[in-house]
Structure 1
Amino acid sequence: MLRVSGVVKSYATPQGPLPVLKGVDLALAAGESLALLGESGSGKSTLLHLIGGLDEADRGEITFGGVALSTLADGERAALRREGIGIVFQQFNLMPGLTVADNLAFQARIAGRFDPVWRDELADRLGLANLGGRYPEELSGGQQQRVAIGRALAVKPRLVLADEPTGNLDEATGDEVLRLALDLVARTGCAFLMATHSTRLAARLDHRVRLASGVLVAP
């Protein structure tokens, strides 16, 4: 499903290039879950953005479903992201002017893959069935994160990328959100890659790696 080979990424600073990723390799099959551990600033978000086609690597290759991202134009990467990749951001990134029901359907509608039955099932499984008419500002942090997870899964993606999806939640709510996310991922059969600093949460996924000094090492 996903292969990352020798990926290098640096950012320009007044002091010169700042290397963040120094040759990252990983592979993830359909139906597998992988925890990407690392301290804040270790490059976890950078790697997820590269995999999601939101940024481009300096060197190396990222292949998704047999397609090398480097061969795709911007519009093609955007289409791949809409149709094949669900992204759960740490800050939720919900549409403030849309209700819960419409936020859940947003990405699927854009991708032309909206299934109202699946949307309603997601809402029910995520405890959102009675909140469909509310707006994000009327929800708790845990409820907003559930909407973000549902939105990512509504398109029935082949890969879900989750960037510290429980980072803004208390422990009990975070545990429940991750349990629901893994349950729904298992139901859809997609691959799941989660960036986290929590070894406790990482232990619940199939595999674990740690990003340190720009490379992946054993956790």
Structure 2
Amino acid sequence: MLLTVRDLKKTYPGAEGPAPVLRGVDLDLAAGESLALTGESGSGKSTLLHLVGGLDRPDGGQIALDGEELSVLDDAGRARLRRGTVGVIFQQFNLIPSLDVAANIAFQARLAGRHDAARDAQLAEALGLAPHLAKYPEQLSGGQQQRVAIARTLSAAPRLVLADEPTGNLDEATAAHVLEAMLALVTGSGAALLMVTHSQALAARLDRRLHLTGGRLA
């Protein structure tokens, strides 16, 4: 199993005292599998994604990624994990305005020390970005910018892709097209995908779906 989560807990301080967000989450995800995570706003979906990606620390429980327990890693160890094993796609594109599309795509892979120009070319072709490699983010549509963000993440060849509302800023037709391309690329590489989404239609296109409510998955 690529990802194993057991009895994961997270609590944040609130105006009326501690507010539990995750109350004991269990989750398994295999390589090559895609899983949609749904739930109401504030249910803890993004919190769970951030904990799995090493962007935050849990208050209890265990997260094992590719056999490595996250709780024993220091900040440098979690940063190494995000550069190599885990790739994160956010709703905000977070492209670098001063870099053209080709350089934005290569950015994460260069940080990870695994840049492959041939892989970048394949990603650009698959995502319809080949004619736009010399352009800058401000010259692209929202859908094109999100494709660049997806290509940048996949360029580093992560084992696990975490996507937090990756098509939330796009219209329904564009979102469906972008998701289809992302799914084909992620599963085709043998990686696993854990995606947070509010869209039931998009969630239905993934292999499995889990709903987060009351701090637990169902």
Paired AA for residue 206 in structure 1: D
> Distance in 1 between the 2:81 and 2:59 partners?
20
Asked if 1:110 is matched to 2:111, the reply is yes
Q: Which residue of 2 aligns with 1:47?
A: 48
- The 5-angstrom pairing of residues 120-159 of structure 1 reads 120-159=121-160
The equivalent residue for 2:58 is 57
Summarize deviations over 1:104-126 as a string: whole Å, max 9, x none.
00110000000000001101110
Distance 1:93 1:61 in 2: 29
Q: Distance in 2 between matches of 1:107 and 1:136?
A: 16
AA partner of residue 107 (structure 1): Q
How far apart are 1:15 and its partner, in Å?
A: 2.4
Give the fraction of aligned pairs with identical amino acids, expressed as a percent. 62
Residue by residue, what CA displacement relative to the aligned partner does 1:10-54 show, whole Å, maximum 9, x if unpaired? Answer: 111232211111111100000000000112211111100000000
C-alpha distance after superposition, 1:155-174 (max 9, x if no partner): 11100000011111000000
Counterparts of 2:95 and 2:115, CA distance in 1 = 17
Structure 1 residue ranges, 4+ long, deviating more than 2 angstroms after superposition: none
In the alignment, the residues of structure 1 paired with residue 91 and residue 186 of structure 2 have an alpha-carbon distance, to the nearest angstrom, of 18
Give the 5 Å matches for 1:195-214.
195-214=196-215
2:164 is aligned with 1:163: yes
Supply the AA of the counterpart residue of 1:130. Answer: P
- What CA distance in whole angstroms lies between the structure 2 residues aligned with 1:48 and 1:95? 23
Structure 2 unaligned regions, length at least 5: none
* 1:7 match: 8
Q: Which residue of 2 aligns with 1:18?
A: 19
TM-score, normalization: structure 2?
0.98
Q: How far off its partner does 1:88 sit?
A: 0.5
Question: Aligned partners of 1:160 and 1:87: how far apart in 2?
Answer: 6
Task: Find the residue that maps to 1:130 and give its secondary structure.
Answer: helix
Q: Is this contact kept in 1: 2:83–2:108, CA < 8 A?
A: yes
- CA offset at residue 213 of structure 1? 1.1
Shift of 1:86: 1.0
Query: How many angstroms apart in 2 are the aligned matches of 1:59 and 1:139?
Result: 43
In the TM superposition, residue 186 of structure 1 has moved relative to its aligned partner by 1.9
**Secondary structure of 1:168's aligned partner:** coil
| Cα RMSD (Å) | 0.8
Distance 1:201 1:88 in 2: 16
